Amino acid sequence: MIQYYQFKNRAISKFVSIFKRNNNVLIYGPQRSFTNFFHQYLERNFFVNIKKGTAFKNLDYYKHNPKPNLDKKTFSNSVIFILYKDLDLWIKSLERNPMDFFEINKLFNHNISNIKEVEKIKQYHKNFYNFWIEKKKFFPGIEFVDYQEMLDDNSIYSFTKYIKSKYKYLSYKKIYIPKKVRFSDNFNKKNYKNFNKGDSSLSKQIQSLIKRQI
């Protein structure tokens, strides 16, 4: 059921989008890559028009779509946030709770049925982010976000300052940091804080694309 703050923020955001370019937002990431947290964070702090889809409707706007077919207009008038989680940490998250990953991936012509298919999972993870790395070469409105930027309040404050400065989003004065996340009953940042950042070539590529200049 939609909450009052969601109804109010969405109505204001759609009105703002009439006058403000780049007020449309899309979020993409594999299952278990903090997409629900990030969506809630954006919706509680900024008046942005978050475009959404599902596995059965508006598939190209579906946050877990590994290869959405977006037109040039969407790329030019939207900011696209790509949420990155290191491979080893992502696999551990799938082990704890895969959600619907092992069903949904098959909609996109993958055939991963369980956590034991490690090589297939590794390839899925690599392909998911390589798709956006290639798109980033042509469309500057793609922002990669590392999970570690969302682990503590100071990091979130810095990230908030960055996107407010860069995209001039209309926002609330006080920053709201979600403590509970819709559809993620077991959400707990302690599961991630002691995990070291990966040093794979993919991880290094992602980090090179994350430039937070305020």
Segment 156-206, tens digit of pLDDT? 999 999 999 999 999 999 999 998 776 555 556 565 555 566 678 999 999
pLDDT of res. 113: 97
Long-range contacts of residues 21-24, Cβ cutoff 8 Å, at least 24 apart: 21/77, 22/77, 22/78, 22/79, 22/141, 22/167, 23/47, 23/48, 23/49, 23/169, 24/48, 24/49, 24/51, 24/74, 24/77, 24/78, 24/79
Tokens coding 132: 């956006």
Least confident of 61-65, 74-78, 102-106, 188-192: 188-192
Q: Cβ distance 48 to 41 under 8 Å?
A: no
For residues 204 and 95, what is the distance between their CA atoms, to the nearest angstrom?
24
pLDDT of res. 75: 95
Q: Cβ distance 144 to 135 under 8 Å?
A: no
pLDDT of res. 93: 92
Q: In the chain, pLDDT over 90 holds for what percent of residues?
A: 73
pLDDT of res. 193: 56
DSSP state of 193: T
For residues 36 and 49, what is the distance between their CA atoms, to the nearest angstrom?
16
Q: Hey, how many other C-beta atoms are within 10 angstroms of the C-beta on 70?
A: 15
Phi first, then psi, for residue 144 (nearest 5°) are -85, 140
148 pLDDT tier (thresholds 50, 70, 90):
confident
**Higher per-residue confidence, 1 vs 133:** 133
Q: What are 27's strand-pairing partners? A: 81
**Higher per-residue confidence, 10 vs 145:** 145
Domain ranges of the chain: 4-209
Least confident of 50-59, 113-122, 191-200: 191-200
Alpha-carbon distances, residue 153 vs 16, 177, 178, 191, 196 (angstroms) = 28, 7, 10, 16, 18
For residues 64 and 61, what is the distance between their CA atoms, to the nearest angstrom?
9
pLDDT of res. 160: 95
